Amino acid sequence: MEQEIQELQENQVETQVSQATSDGYQVKLEIFEGPLDLLLFLIRKKKIDIHDIPIAVITRDYLEYLEKKDQINLDREAEFLLIAALLIYIKSQMLLPREQEAAREDDPRQILVDRLLEYQKVKIACSLLREKEEDQLQRWRRTFLPPVARPDELDLLEVSLFDLAETFFLILKRKEKENFQIIRGKDISAEEKMKEMVHYLEKHGSMDFLEYFENQETLEEALVSFFCLLELIKNHTVIAVQEQLFQTIRVWLRKTRQPSHPHGSSHE
Amino acid sequence: MNEQLKAILEVLIFISQEPLTISKIKEVLGEIPEEELEEALQSLVADYQQGQRGIQVIKSGGGFIFTTKPEYDQWVRRLLQIEKKTKLSSAALETLSIIAYHQPITQAEISAIRGVDSTYSLKTLLQKKLIKIVGRKKAPGNPLVYRTTEKFLQYFGLNSLDDLPKEEEIAKILEEEKETVS
């Protein structure tokens, strides 16, 4: 039950009700924070001692409030029904004949009383904190300051797990966008690429393949260019030389009309 | 009274965005006698409290900070053109006070006390950074465990969790209420 109700509104209704002597009011369920809040309200209204609740009376009152609703929204009001069930359960326990000793030891109402007492404490803590909140909201602080220059020292921030998770999802989202761009990258046709490489060789004479490879826009394009290189070697269009392992591959156009090539050691 | 020390403290507090802690002051000033520091701080706080000033030095969130006095709230709001600062909803406040008194605590434990589900309130409080997740409980389902933050203390003007309204204080109010009812 997560109603966002203005405190003001709540106060108004409560004063209205407390001024009343009869039951002629339409009290909306929504003004109560939950079933325990409603129960406490009924107990206070009837001036009942919380340690000695007449279950039958309070159950009747409680159900009356529920009945004022045309229909029960299970999402929002299931908790009210749960407490109604608890009340009826307690009453039935009290009606059952019990051995006297046992009856004295555990009053079936105790479970409810404990919860109500605990909740009552929470309500009072709330009202005290609310006073503090209202007071603090009237005290203003400066919220901005020029940044303090601290060139080489990074501030360690205390972050919670929640912060970390938030950051992680932010990064993930950013990463998703990056991937998205790669997927949208244009289709690379091997044929086009081969033509492009031959043009490059015709223009420049030779090619530093590592450099060419690195200048490709996308990984996909780079890979295609490597396939093309292999293809061009295979169909005797180019000669490729790698002088040492892991070093660049130099590429020349093969001059088919001139079988003897200045660089003899060619790998095909 | 070391007037110069007082002036330095005033400057340090003035320039700090977060409440200025004693340890931070010591870091800046180096070793100074505890008593002397304490005396200067108290005198500074008292000066602002007594004088006809609109601002004051208060101890909040474990340190010292300048704030305006509450009685001048409306003038600040007029300048900044802010109607009223929004307060926490009743549901959020209820959830928050349960966490404050019972921390570390899980969502199920909170909901059991309130008698209602608290998912939404917890979300709001996390967003406002008034509470934080500090781990998981070694219990079935390994539920998340919540605690209040430094910001929580500042928000309510508390210096530490010890400043929360005491059990006796609450009991006294309960007693008074009982009397008015009967």
Return the higher-pLDDT residue of B165 and A25. Answer: B165
The predicted pLDDT at position A6 comes to: 42
Q: Is the pLDDT of residue A175 over 70?
A: no
A151 cis-preceded (ω within 30 degrees of 0): no
Of A185-189, A197-201, B55-59, minimum mean pLDDT range? A185-189
Residue-averaged pLDDT of chain A: 72
The predicted pLDDT at position A131 comes to: 92
Q: Which of A13, A83, A136 to mutate to test the interface with B (most CBs of B within 10 A)?
A: A136
Tell the CATH topology of B90-181. Arc Repressor Mutant, subunit A (1.10.10)
Q: Is the pLDDT of residue B2 over 90?
A: no
Give the pLDDT mean for B45-70: 88
- Shortest CA distance from A132: residue in chain B: B156
The alpha carbon dihedral of B171, B175, B180, B182 has a sign of positive
**A74, two tokens:** 């299970």
B144 DSSP β-pair partners: B136
Highest mean pLDDT among A31-35, A77-81, B36-40: B36-40
The C-alpha torsion from B151 through B152 and B154 to B157, rounded to 10°, is 180
Q: Does A192 touch chain B (CB under 8 A)?
A: no
- pLDDT tens, position by position, A78-119: 888 888 888 888 888 888 776 665 555 677 788 888 888 899
Q: Does A91 touch chain B (CB under 8 A)?
A: no
Q: Is the pLDDT of residue A154 over 70?
A: no
* A12 and A104 fall within a common domain: yes
CATH number of B3-79: 1.10.10.10
- Domain ranges within chain B, ordered by starting residue: 3-79, 90-181
Q: Is the pLDDT of residue A21 over 90?
A: no
The predicted complex's ipTM stands at: 0.80
The predicted pLDDT at position A29 comes to: 59
Q: Which of B16, B71, B90 to mutate to test the interface with A (most CBs of A within 10 A)?
A: B90
Q: Is the pLDDT of residue A257 over 80?
A: no
Q: What are phi and psi of B51, to 5 degrees?
A: -65, 165
* pTM, rounded to two decimals: 0.60
Q: Kindly list the residues from chain B whose CB atom is less than 8 angstroms away from the CB atom of residue A77.
A: none
Task: Tell me, yes or no, whether A200 lies in a domain.
Answer: yes
CATH number at residue A206: 1.10.10.580
The predicted pLDDT at position B174 comes to: 82
For residue A244, what pLDDT band results from cuts at 50, 70 and 90?
low
Cβ–Cβ gap A140/B67 under 8 Å: yes
Query: In angstroms, rounded to a whole number, what is the distance separating the alpha carbons of residues B92 and B78?
Result: 28
Task: Tell me, yes or no, whether A143 lies in a domain.
Answer: no
Of A2, A118, A135, the CB nearest to B121: A2
The predicted pLDDT at position A9 comes to: 44
Domain edge (last residue) among A89, A106, A135: A135
The predicted pLDDT at position B109 comes to: 93
Q: What is the extent of the structural domain holding A69?
A: 7-135
